[in-house]
Chain A
Amino acid sequence: MDHILVANNVSKTFGNYTALSNISLKIPTNCIYGLLGPNGAGKTTFIRIINQITYQDQGEILFNGEPLAPKHISVIGYLPEERGLYKSMKVGEQALYLAQLKGLSKNEAKKRLKYWFDRLDIGDWWNKKIQELSKGMAQKVQFIVTVLHKPKLLIFDEPFSGFDPINANIIKDEILQLKENGTSIIFSTHRMESVEELCEHIALIHKSEKILDGKLSEIKKAYKNNIFNVGLQLEQDNEMLLKNLQDKFNILSSSYNEEERQLDFVMKLPSSQTGDVLATLSNHANVNRFEETIPSANDIFIQTVNKKDNDR
């Protein structure tokens, strides 16, 4: 698999404070890569190093196989978490300025801006000043400016903060579209629901160290612990059944609805082999639910971070 960005043993300290220690990551080309971690973990420092705003003390970073260099700035797009625009400058003028700083010619920038302004339905804002716009509107302008120069690698740091749900959805669709068009995307956040929706790969950074990375689906598989939700439809009240089951299996919790004669419980199995269990259950009642619980990204996040903290 091609990698747009590879980091090998990257470390960075500020005085006595270690921001990153020995971070190694491989970010595949044309995928959405979730960079996760609690506040202060070192995500922003890592992103700033990719953008060459600061530099690592040790380690190397390869961009498309070459050492990261100033020329790569024009093929990287960055939407920082701390973002804003000049308040007293007009929207169009400002967008042109920022696009030209990324190396676009004035005419090309104008053409592309027109396309994007129409696409996001903000065409008539061109001559407005930023201070006249709402926060969400300014964020749209900011998003356009980030993607305008068609970067190969896009870095979004908490892209949805400041958006209402409707506009957040529009931006999410745009991000997916950009990925379809071949862009590689680093997506930094601590909001896990968007991670589930967008990311194929993730890395979890905690207290300056990488504690987990890989394909999200594989990580989830690895974090499965053979817990199943089961629902049984009984033909008649059978108080002995639950007791019998509890003797045979490890039942974590249960509930019984007398009216519906519905018995629900959560059980942990010794392995992921389910055939015998299902057969046994079927003997007693009609199984109307049998599903393995898959940990959410949020669970994995909390679990891993807590485990790491307890290890210390």
Chain B
Amino acid sequence: MIGKLALIIRREYLAKVRNRSFIVMTILSPLLIVGMIVLIVYLTKINDNEKRVISVLNESAFFYDEFSSSETLSYVRFDGLTLQQAQDSTNSLGYYGLLYLPQMDNAEEVAQAAYLYTKDNPNTQVTQKLEAVFQKKLRQGRMEKLGVSAEQFSEIEKPFEINLATFEGEKSIKGINEIKAFIGGGFGYAIMMFIIIYGGFVMRSVIEEKTSRIIEVIISSVKPFQLMLGKIIGTSLAGITQFVIWIVSASLLLFLVVLFLGLDLSVLSGEAAMAPGPMGSAADFNSIVNDDMLLYTREILNIPWALLIGSFLIYFILGYLIYSSIYAAIGAAVDNETDTQQFIFPIILPLMLAIYVGFFSVFSNPHGPIAVGFSLFPLTSPIVMLMRLPGGIGEGGVPLWQLILSIALLIVTFLGIVTLAAKIYRVGILMYGKRPTYKELFKWLRY
């Protein structure tokens, strides 16, 4: 019996990996992924590198050093020109704009009378920067009027950042929860993608056996359940092969790209960490990264990787088996792929729900009631629980009973669903000609 199962797994595996479109996808995908990354990094850089030049026509006695070049803005002084001349030169030199500071008695008045001339409506970032310069200068002036010295002023202006710590007294840092959830979410997302891609393969392979009419020949030699299991395992092994090839070749390619093209991936890591949710601007994040790099590294190393990877394997195997047996049953129930739509939507739904709930609820509150509920519900738990797990087990993390209950529910569901799916499969593979309704599927369960 085991021998037959092995034969089936081997055939399904070989049939899959020898398939031309499978080979093409395996080779092309890493190229596409790396291409995308290179493109994103390149675009981000272009965006950053666009340095805007602003010419300054300063007729006042105030504001001199205040307008100093920064990463995104640089200033060019136009001295001794008339406003009209300055405007013309700015335009002809292709500068972003002209800042005009007229001759006035004091800084307040200069500021009131100052103008920024641009070709089109100016970018908000630019105006904000300029306004900040004025604001600082004016505030300093007002303070001086109140008898605050320049030294005292800089003391007042010193930036403040709140200290963070956990109840246990460990120093904590901003954004770490999001990073943790993001890592867990990555695992969850991988599970979802795997289920959708390879579950679909299982389904198509079942349909192929039906339409080529080989199915009855095969099940006169092996049990339908063996065939279904062999198909699911064989296809997932092919899937894992493909995943491994993707990861290895993509990292290798990326490494080569970084090595030979000198691509700076740190841009990307900032962007990626940004993506998940509302957590402040990238600039904040970057400064934190620089300041607290060590802390972050420690926190990431502190993520219970063994637990996370162990649970990933458990949730991956159980979740994949549940969903792919449903896919197999769907494949058995229909005659061609176009008939599958009505059945596929209801099984994609919980997967989508898990991802959305994960991103919107679990990230902000990993142990709230919604997160707990969805991490126990068997059709969503493989994804949602993995988003919660990087916080660890026990205090401050997922309570142990929840993890155990979640896995137990998943196992019970797995046994139930596989039994039902096998029944539908057994009847469905021998039914030709009509598109079944849900009612009929329910009837098949009793044959």
The residue on B at minimum CB distance from A74 is B221
Interface residue total, chain B, C-beta cutoff 8 A: 24
The one of A85, A88, A89, A101 in contact with B222, judged by C-beta atoms closer than 8 angstroms, is: A101
Q: A83 touching B213 by the CB < 8 A rule?
A: yes
Chain B residues near A82 (CB-CB < 8 A) = 213, 216, 432
**Total contacts A to B, CB within 8 angstroms?**
61
Q: B430 touching A142 by the CB < 8 A rule?
A: no
Query: Would you list which residues of chain B between 66 and 123 have a CB under 8 Å from chain A?
Result: none
Chain B residues near A80 (CB-CB < 8 A) = 213, 216-217, 220
Q: Which of A97, A101, A102 gathers the greatest number of chain B CB atoms within 10 Å?
A: A101
Q: Digit string of A196-227 for contact with B (CB within 8 Å is 1, else 0)? A: 00000000000000000000000000000000
The one of B8, B11, B219, B446 in contact with A15, judged by C-beta atoms closer than 8 angstroms, is: B446
Q: A53 touching B216 by the CB < 8 A rule?
A: yes
Q: B213 touching A76 by the CB < 8 A rule?
A: no
Known: A53-B430, A83-B213, A97-B11. A15 touches B443 (CB 8 A): yes
- State whether the Cβ of A78 lies closer than 8 Å to any Cβ in chain B: yes
Chain B residues near A54 (CB-CB < 8 A) = 447
Chain A residues near B45 (CB-CB < 8 A) = none
Known: A83-B217, A98-B217. A88 touches B15 (CB 8 A): yes
The one of B214, B219, B447 in contact with A53, judged by C-beta atoms closer than 8 angstroms, is: B219
The one of A73, A78, A83, A102 in contact with B214, judged by C-beta atoms closer than 8 angstroms, is: A83
- State whether the Cβ of A20 lies closer than 8 Å to any Cβ in chain B: no
Main secondary structure of the interface of B (DSSP, over half): helix
- State whether the Cβ of B218 lies closer than 8 Å to any Cβ in chain A: yes
In the complex, A14→B219 CA distance in Å? 19
Q: B221 touching A98 by the CB < 8 A rule?
A: yes
- State whether the Cβ of B212 lies closer than 8 Å to any Cβ in chain A: yes
Distance of B13 from chain A, by nearest CB (Å): 12
Q: B217 touching A145 by the CB < 8 A rule?
A: yes
- State whether the Cβ of B400 lies closer than 8 Å to any Cβ in chain A: no
In the complex, A210→B246 CA distance in Å? 60
Distance of A208 from chain B, by nearest CB (Å): 16
Q: Which of B4, B208, B221, B430 gathers the greatest number of chain A CB atoms within 10 Å?
A: B221
In the complex, A87→B218 CA distance in Å? 14
Known: A100-B7, A101-B7. A78 touches B220 (CB 8 A): yes
Chain A residues near B15 (CB-CB < 8 A) = 86, 88-89
Chain B residues near A15 (CB-CB < 8 A) = 443, 446-447
Known: A84-B212, A86-B15. A101 touches B221 (CB 8 A): yes
- State whether the Cβ of A229 lies closer than 8 Å to any Cβ in chain B: no
- State whether the Cβ of A167 lies closer than 8 Å to any Cβ in chain B: no
Q: A85 touching B212 by the CB < 8 A rule?
A: yes
Query: Would you list which residues of chain B between 395 and 441 have a CB under 8 Å from chain A?
Result: 430, 432
Query: Would you list which residues of chain B between 342 and 358 have a CB under 8 Å from chain A?
Result: none
Main secondary structure of the interface of A (DSSP, over half): loop
Known: A15-B447, A145-B217. A101 touches B212 (CB 8 A): no
Q: Digit string of B215-236 for contact with A (CB within 8 Å is 1, else 0)? A: 0111111101000000000000
Q: Which of B19, B220, B221 gathers the greatest number of chain A CB atoms within 10 Å?
A: B220
In the complex, A102→B222 CA distance in Å? 8
The residue on A at minimum CB distance from B212 is A84
Distance of B446 from chain A, by nearest CB (Å): 7
Size band of the interface chain A makes with B: 20 to 34
In the complex, A267→B4 CA distance in Å? 64
Chain B residues near A102 (CB-CB < 8 A) = 221
- State whether the Cβ of A51 lies closer than 8 Å to any Cβ in chain B: yes
Chain B residues near A89 (CB-CB < 8 A) = 15
In the complex, A82→B429 CA distance in Å? 11
Chain A residues near B208 (CB-CB < 8 A) = 86-87
Known: A14-B447, A101-B4. A84 touches B221 (CB 8 A): no
Q: A85 touching B446 by the CB < 8 A rule?
A: no
In the complex, A179→B209 CA distance in Å? 31
Q: Digit string of A80-113 for contact with B (CB within 8 Å is 1, else 0)? A: 1011111111000000011011100000000000
In the complex, A51→B221 CA distance in Å? 8
Distance of A23 from chain B, by nearest CB (Å): 18
Chain A residues near B220 (CB-CB < 8 A) = 51, 53, 73, 76, 78, 80
Chain A residues near B216 (CB-CB < 8 A) = 53, 78, 80, 82-83
Distance of A92 from chain B, by nearest CB (Å): 14
In the complex, A76→B4 CA distance in Å? 17
Chain B residues near A53 (CB-CB < 8 A) = 216, 219-220, 224, 430
The residue on B at minimum CB distance from A102 is B221
Distance of A81 from chain B, by nearest CB (Å): 8
Distance of B357 from chain A, by nearest CB (Å): 39
Known: A14-B447, A98-B217, A100-B7. A86 touches B222 (CB 8 A): no
Q: Digit string of A143-161 for contact with B (CB within 8 Å is 1, else 0)? A: 0010000000000000000
In the complex, A82→B220 CA distance in Å? 12
Distance of B9 from chain A, by nearest CB (Å): 12
14 A-B pairs whose Cβ atoms sit less than 8 Å apart in the complex: A53-B216, A53-B430, A54-B447, A73-B220, A80-B216, A82-B432, A83-B216, A85-B214, A86-B208, A87-B208, A88-B19, A97-B11, A98-B217, A101-B218
Residues of chain B having any CB pair with chain A under 8 Å: 4, 7-8, 11, 15, 19, 208-209, 212-214, 216-222, 224, 430, 432, 443, 446-447
Q: A86-B209, A87-B212, A98-B218 are in contact. List 16 more A-B contacts (CB 8 A).
A: A51-B220, A53-B224, A78-B217, A80-B213, A82-B213, A83-B216, A84-B213, A86-B15, A88-B15, A88-B19, A97-B7, A98-B221, A100-B7, A101-B4, A101-B218, A145-B217
5 A-B pairs with the lowest CB-CB distances in the bound complex, closest first: A84-B213, A80-B216, A101-B221, A84-B212, A78-B220
